[in-house]
Amino acid sequence: MKVEYGNTARGDEGGYALDVEDARIPLELLMRAVEKVGVGEKIRFALDIAASSFFDSNSGKYKIGDDTLSPAELLSVYKSLVREFPIFSIEDPFEENDFEGFAILRKELPELIVVGDDLTVTSKTQLEEAINKNAINGIIIKPNQIGTLTEVLDTMELARENLVECIVSHRSGEIEDSFIADLAYAFGAFGLKSGAPVPKERLAKYNRLIEISE
């Protein structure tokens, strides 16, 4: 599909992926979409930055298009986006070992939910470090990332004890199993991250939530 903002393709998780370098463009399109259907006042956005994917460990900087940004400059970008758009959460804003960067973002934008995924990898040990460093107030929970359901529940329990919101999540290479929907509901998780409800492996989770609600 061709649009005025470039080519689009389906991402791994069923959503549209724009071939653009300016982070504001997809957010502007989303704003136009929610306003067009009359729900602009009800919708807020959550960003998954996956900053490790564009971090250069040699320079300690982030490569975005033609720009190379320091952690401080990237922080300024986030602050600008939060001022401009109704963003309530940012996941993995800095590379996966930068607990300090996460903590600075939390301090600078205390109203934001700063979410760890690559930072915490559903690990109780990693979560403990993040809590001690005040790095996050949200965590992605992926049951098959850590190994056993017992370990998952231990991590979720530690998160709840420390007021860290749990977001149960799919993986990029997903199957039709819908267990994560049950886990999110049973635990009373803050959210469930399942992708766009188009591919059958994504839709299965939403259908399971409907079954639970009925």
Cα distances from 187 to residues 2, 42, 148, 159, in angstroms, run 42, 25, 16, 12
* Known active-site residue 142: yes
Tell me the mean pLDDT in the region 2-27. Answer: 77
Q: Which two tokens stand for residue 203?
A: 């839709």
Percent of the chain with pLDDT over 70: 97
Residue count (the chain): 214
More confident residue, 47 or 7: 47
**pLDDT at position 143:** 92
pTM listed for this prediction: 0.92
Q: Is 63 helix (H, G, I), strand (E, B) or coil?
A: strand
Tell me the mean pLDDT in the region 97-113. Answer: 97
Catalytic residue among 13, 91, 174, 201: 13
Catalytic residue among 108, 128, 142, 151: 142
Tell me the mean pLDDT in the region 6-23. Answer: 79
Residue found under tokens 């929610």: 34
List, for residues 161-170, the tens digit of each pLDDT value: 999 999 999 9
Q: Which two tokens stand for residue 161?
A: 């004890």
Long-range contacts, 202-209 (Cβ 8 Å, 24+): 202/13, 202/14, 202/170, 202/174, 204/176, 204/177, 204/178, 205/170, 205/178, 205/180, 205/181, 206/181, 207/178, 208/178, 208/181, 208/182, 209/181, 209/185
Question: What's the pLDDT band for 159 if we cut at 50, 70, 90?
Answer: very high
**pLDDT at position 122:** 97
